[in-house]
A and B are shown apart, each in its own frame.
Chain A
Amino acid sequence: MTPAAPEPVVEISELRRVFKSRRGPVEAVAGIDLQVFRGEIFGFLGPNGAGKTTTLRMLATLLPPTSGRALIAGRDLLSEPDQVRWQIGYVGQQGGADMEITGRSELVFEARLYGMGREQARLRSEELIRTLELEPCADRRISTYSGGQRRRLDIAVGLVHQPQLLFLDEPTTGLDPQSRARVWDEVRSLRRAGTTVFLTTHYLEEADALCDRLAIIDHGRIVARGTPDELKREVAGDLVTVGLEGDPETALRLLREQPFVREASAEESSLRLYVERGESAAPEILRLLDREGLGLTTISVSRPSLDDVFLRQTGRSLREQAA
């Protein structure tokens, strides 16, 4: 048997959103095309203000697109938003649970909104409390929850009606490493259960470790897409970073001419060089700079990361911005 062709759960074409603001229109999402397939964890990686939340809110029926189309689980976003709502769960960037009541009552309320009877809602809440390990806090006011508990509750609320597609907007932002790992586990077990997850993040490690495929978004445009490995391979080769004592321009000119350097760029007092094989390029670079009398402070070789992908596409580093 051949594996079934991937079935798209989200199909977006030319989706665009412009906000009016006092200082004129802001194009938050500038016409994106995208497919998310059934059963995958799809990631949207981008810096602050890239348009991640705006895209997700449009897909979750919260915000009308300025133009463009989207099909979600076969339903048209614009003409059948009510149908779409039954198919999706959405966990917003700020969560969405009320601080004053208990997690359990939030879950029961949510279940009742999806038409469940009292008993069914109680059972479903109980089930979610168990799966997301919320037993210790389920009957406390949400204002007393830890960050990780809060996030797991938000996810539980989004899962009440067993949606086939779950949107998670920055599910781990602000969490400590342990809580983050638990959320990752949760997302992976959702995939095992067949749920498609569409999440946003500005953490490179998260995109790399968690997502099956991802799109890198910047200024409302998708600048790269693929599996994390494909994306890193696109960067082609290893990265050698050279710290220099003086002005990098001379060194840049010199190294650019070398056949083993594929791409080179200068940044204040350092050079970024993409080379075929970092191990053999490094000594060569040392020799060249030494011969020209160009003082060198540091040198490092690294395999390309998603940050290099981002850097190459946008000229900026995501890591610096996240910090």
Chain B
Amino acid sequence: MKLARDTWLVFQRYFGIFIHNPAWVAVGVIQPALYLLLFAPLLKSIADVPGFPHGGAYNVFVPGLLIQLGLFGASGVGFGLISELRFGVIERLRVTPVSRLALLLGRALRDILTLLLQSLILVLVALPFGLSFRPLGILIALGLVALIGLMVTSISYALALWLKDENSFAPIVFTASLPLLLLSGVLLPMSLAPSWLRTISTLNPLSHAVSANREVFLGHLANANVYQGVAIMVVLAALAIWYAARAFSRAIA
């Protein structure tokens, strides 16, 4: 009860701050939109290559873009936390009896809400290009984005609390995100990859999220890949939240 109330209060506060600077939504959308406009057309010509999944270039590409949005949109949230650490905001909040988990969840909820907003915009932009989906499918897809968002924001916050400094945070985040992205099959499906690369990519949880999301956009909602992808993301998100909540409750020495 207290957790829910505190989470809601923290969410409201950070959402209020965010509303004052809606430029971030635009920044978040522009990048995937550029992929959509400037990269997806290339896929059209290779959509007939053997190994390329069926269902049309956009139905293959947009699900991956959504996952990428989840990863890139969420990984930078730690920057905001670092500046708050510097201004003493986090110390001040930790002196109050507020639930430590709420300090994490309230912020993460705000981040996820923006991710979902960006995802919706992306899907809408892709519609005229021929993207198709089932109503339930879009809910599952957004659920996946939310789970990835929870996982990645939690990790980003934990990392920020640990490093407390942009100069060490930035390189770690960027170096970690790129292989995660390349090995997830977002840009080109992993079915085109040589087998060694495909083997490595199965170790990347995001590749399972991408496969799950592709099935969803192909209309295969009850596919085993979907169950697997969602299950993996639920477990990882829970672990990440647990880890980050611990970081929030421990002293920020």
Neighbouring B residues of A98 by C-beta, 8 Å: 17, 84, 87, 89
CB pair A113–B252 under 8 Å, yes or no, is no
Is the CB–CB distance between B97 and A85 below 8 Å?
A: yes
B17:A101 contact, CB within 8 angstroms: yes
Instruction: Say whether A62 contacts B91, CB under 8 Å.
Output: yes
Q: Decide: A99 near B98, CB < 8 A? Known: A19-B253, A62-B251, A90-B92.
A: no
Inter-subunit contact B87/A95 (CB<8 Å): yes
Contacts of A114 in B (CB 8 A): 96-97
Answer whether A82 and B17 are a contact pair too, CB < 8 Å, given A62-B91, A63-B253, A112-B9: no
Known contacts A19-B253, A98-B17; A113 and B93 CB within 8 A of each other: yes
A92 interface residue per 8 A CB criterion:
yes
Interface positions of A from 105 to 164, Cβ below 8 Å from B: 105, 109-110, 112-115, 157
Say whether, besides A62-B94, A90-B92, A157-B92, A113 and B9 are in contact (CB < 8 Å): yes
Chain B min CB distance to A56 (Å): 10
Q: Are A113 and B253 in contact (CB under 8 A)?
A: no
Give the distance in Å from the alpha carbon of A82 to the alpha carbon of B92 in the complex: 15
Question: In the complex, which residue of chain A has the Cβ closest to the Cβ of B13?
Answer: A109
Chain B residue total in the interface (Cβ 8 A)? 24
Query: In whole angstroms, how far apart are the Cα atoms of A94 and B86 in the complex?
Result: 8
B83 closest partner in A (C-beta): A99
- What B residues does A61 contact at CB under 8 A? 94-95
- Which residue of B has the minimal Cβ distance to A160? B96
Q: Which of A64, A88, A90, A113 has the most CB of B within 10 A?
A: A113
> Does the CB pair A113–B89 fall under 8 Å?
no
**With a CB–CB cut-off of 8 A, which chain B residues contact A109?**
9, 12-13
Categorize the interface residue count of chain A: 20 to 34
Q: Note all chain B residues with C-beta closer than 8 A to A100.
A: 17, 20-21
Task: Report Cα–Cα, A114/B97, bound state, in Å.
Answer: 7
Q: How distant is the Cα of A100 from the Cα of B84 in the complex, in angstroms? A: 11
**Residues 59-76 of A contacting B (Cβ, < 8 Å):** 60-64
Say yes or no: B89 contacts A97, CB within 8 Å. Answer: yes
Instruction: Let me know if B41 is at the binding interface, CB within 8 A.
Output: no
Q: How far is the CB of A221 from chain B (nearest CB, A)?
A: 21
Give complex CA distance A99, B17 in Å: 9
Of B20, B21, B84, B95, which is in contact with the most chain A CB atoms at under 10 Å from its CB? B95
Residues of B within 8 A of A85 (CB): 95-97
Decide: A64 and B251 in contact? CB cutoff 8 A: yes
Q: Contacts of A63 on B, CB cut-off 8 Å?
A: 251, 253
Contacting pair A62 B16 (CB below 8 A):
no
A248 contacts chain B at the CB level, 8 A cutoff: no
Q: How far is the CB of B250 from chain A (nearest CB, A)?
A: 9
Q: B88 in the interface, Cβ–Cβ < 8 Å?
A: yes
Instruction: Tell yes or no: B111 within 8 A of A by CB.
Output: no
Closest to B95 in A: A90
Least distance between A121 CB and chain B CB atoms (Å): 10
Which residues of B sit under 8 angstroms from A97, Cβ to Cβ? 87, 89, 92
CA distance A93 to B86 in the complex (A): 11
From B9, B20, B97, give the contact of A101 (CB < 8 A): B20
Q: Check B252 against A62 for contact (C-beta < 8 Å).
A: yes
**Which residue of A63, A98, A105 has the most chain B CB atoms within 10 A of its CB atom?**
A98
Complexed CA–CA distance, A100 and B87 (Å): 12
Residue of A nearest to B16 (CB): A101
| CB contact between B88 and one of A95, A101, A105, A115 (< 8 Å): that residue | A95
Contacts of B251 in A (CB 8 A): 62-64
Residue B215 at the chain A interface, CB threshold 8 Å: no
Contact assessment for B95 and A94 in the assembled complex, using a CB-CB cutoff below 8 Å = no
Q: CB distance A93 to B95 under 8 Å? A: no
A218 shortest CB reach to chain B, Å: 22
Compute how far the CA of A96 lies from the CA of B90 in the bound complex, rounded to whole angstroms.
7
Contact, CB under 8 Å: B97 / A96: no
Complex-state Cα separation, A113 to B87, whole angstroms: 19
User: Would A94 and B97 be within 8 Å (CB), given that A105-B16, A109-B9 are in contact?
Assistant: no
Cα distance A89–B91 in the bound complex, in angstroms: 12
Apart from the given pairs A60-B95, A90-B92, 6 other A-B contacts in the complex at a CB distance below 8 Å:
A19-B253, A61-B94, A62-B252, A94-B87, A96-B91, A109-B12
Sampled A-B contacts (27; CB under 8 Å): A19-B253, A57-B91, A60-B95, A62-B94, A62-B252, A63-B253, A82-B97, A85-B95, A85-B96, A85-B97, A90-B91, A90-B95, A94-B88, A95-B92, A96-B92, A97-B89, A97-B92, A98-B17, A98-B87, A99-B87, A101-B13, A101-B16, A101-B20, A109-B13, A113-B9, A113-B97, A114-B96
Q: What 4 A-B pairs have minimum CB-CB distances, sorted nearest first?
A: A96-B92, A94-B88, A96-B88, A92-B88
